[in-house]
Amino acid sequence: MAISDKDFEQLRDFIYNICGMYFHTTKKYFLESRLARRMEATGVKTYQDYYLFLKSPRGTEELKFLMDEITTNETYFFRNVPQLNALETKLLPEIVEIKNKMGFRKLRIWSAASSSGEEAYTMAMILLEKRATLLKDWIIEIVGTDINETVVAQAKEGIYNAYSVRNIPDVYKRKYIKEDNGKFILSPDVKKFVTFNKLNLYDDNKMIFMKTFDIIFCANVLIYFDTASKSKVVQHFYNNLQPYGYFFVGQSESLHGVNDKFKTVHFPGGFTYKK
């Protein structure tokens, strides 16, 4: 069943207001097909009824199922290219300059929902390439955390499938990935810069010890949190950043109304939050 513009806009606004994730018009058909699955599972007949169901008291649980359908859980290397470009072109040199002035040559990066490790290792590859130039004699520390122990173990292992590595530029692939029987094995040179641990972002006692990061990534996780938890977790991220640090969320995500201390910094194809 084709979704009307009105129904699409209504659902898009609802998802945006509750989850902080914007559905671009280009993704209308994608949303339509995923909604169809949920409507079949719940026995709801029309988009309008499904919208009313989401808004009802029982909707909170249903929204989680819907979000599972509409966010792809699989991640991959070099996923958010505009973000990476912004880091390389402007943000990283800026942080390095500030820290050079302070004589503090250590870079700390946190991938706060690291899943199987692709985001954290992508940063490791990019920084490794700068070891001879921008980051000469710098200490690099990258931390990946996730609530799910299975994915943390996978991340530590560093073995990937073709889907995960398909976006890695050749220059990196040649250096840091070895193919073996359809498996793609990450070089120990990259792995040694990254540590992975289990962490629940709701755990205040542990969150307060994640200190002094220059850059934090947390993509496609906050969309599952209610507003109060979101505010609390984002406040932790804010506190855990250096005064000049940056906080990145996923493509199409928004922190509007969640935290009024972060400032938006815009770059081609995206934006980030600056402390």
Partner 1 sequence: MDKNAMLEKARQLVDKIDDLPTIPVVATQVLQLLDQPDVQIEEVADLMLSDQVMTARVMKMINSPVYKPEHEITSLKRALVFLGLRHIREVALTTSFINAFDENKGAMEIGAFWEHSFGVGMVSKIIAKKVGYPDLEKAYIAGIIHNLGEVFLSNFMRDEFQAVLDSIKDKPVKLVDAEIEQLGTSHCEIGLCMARKWNFPEVYCEVISLHHTPSEAVIDPVLCAIVNLSDLFCSVRELNFGGREWISFNLFEEEAWQILKKQSPQFAEMDVERFCYELDDAIPDVKALVDSIFNSKEQAEP
Among 86, 109, 128, 216, binds partner 1 (CB under 8 A): 86
Number of residues in the chain: 275
Rule CB under 8 A: choose which of 1, 4, 6, 25 binds partner 1.
25
Stretch that binds partner 1, among 72-80, 85-93, 116-124, 191-199 (CB under 8 A): 85-93
Query: What DSSP string describes the chain?
Result: -PPPHHHHHHHHHHHHHHH-B---GGGHHHHHHHHHHHHHHHT--SHHHHHHHHHSTTHHHHHHHHHHHHS-----TT--HHHHHHIIIIIHHHHHHHHHHHT--EEEEEETT-TTSHHHHHHHHHHHTTTTTTTTT-EEEEEEEES-HHHHHHHHHTEE-HHHHTTS-HHHHHHHEEEETTEEEE-HHHHTTEEEEE--TT-HHHHTTS--EEEEE--SSGGGS-HHHHHHHHHHHHHHEEEEEEEE--TTB--TTT-SS-EEEEETTEEEEE-
- Smallest distance from the beta carbon of 100 to partner 1, in angstroms? 18
Question: Under the criterion CB under 8 A, does residue 42 sit at the interface with partner 1?
Answer: no
Q: Is 96 or 147 the residue whose CB approaches partner 1 more closely? A: 96
Q: Which of 10, 14, 22, 129 binds partner 1 (CB under 8 A)?
A: 22
| Residues binding partner 1: number (CB under 8 A) | 24
Q: Least distance from C-beta 172 to partner 1, angstroms?
A: 18
Exposed / middle / buried, residue 21 (Cβ in 10 Å: 0-12, 13-18, 19+): buried
Q: Does 271 bind partner 1 (CB under 8 A)?
A: yes
Given candidates 4, 56, 89, 212, which one binds partner 1 under the rule CB under 8 A? Answer: 89
Closer Cβ to partner 1, 210 or 221, answer by number: 221
Residues 238-267 that bind partner 1 (CB under 8 A): 252-257, 263-267
Nearer to partner 1 among residue 192 and residue 261 (C-beta): 261
Q: CA-based angle 238:148:248, to the nearest 5?
A: 30
Shortest distance (Å) from residue 32 CB to partner 1 = 16
Closer of 145 and 220 to partner 1 (Cβ): 220
CA atoms of 64 and 124, how far apart (whole Å): 32
Nearest distance in Å: CB 255, partner 1: 7
CB of 24 to partner 1, least distance (A): 6
Q: How far is the CB of 198 from partner 1 (least distance, A)?
A: 30
Minimum separation from the CB atom of position 154 to partner 1 (A) = 32
Residues that bind partner 1 (CB under 8 A): 16, 22, 24-26, 86, 89-90, 252-257, 263-271, 274
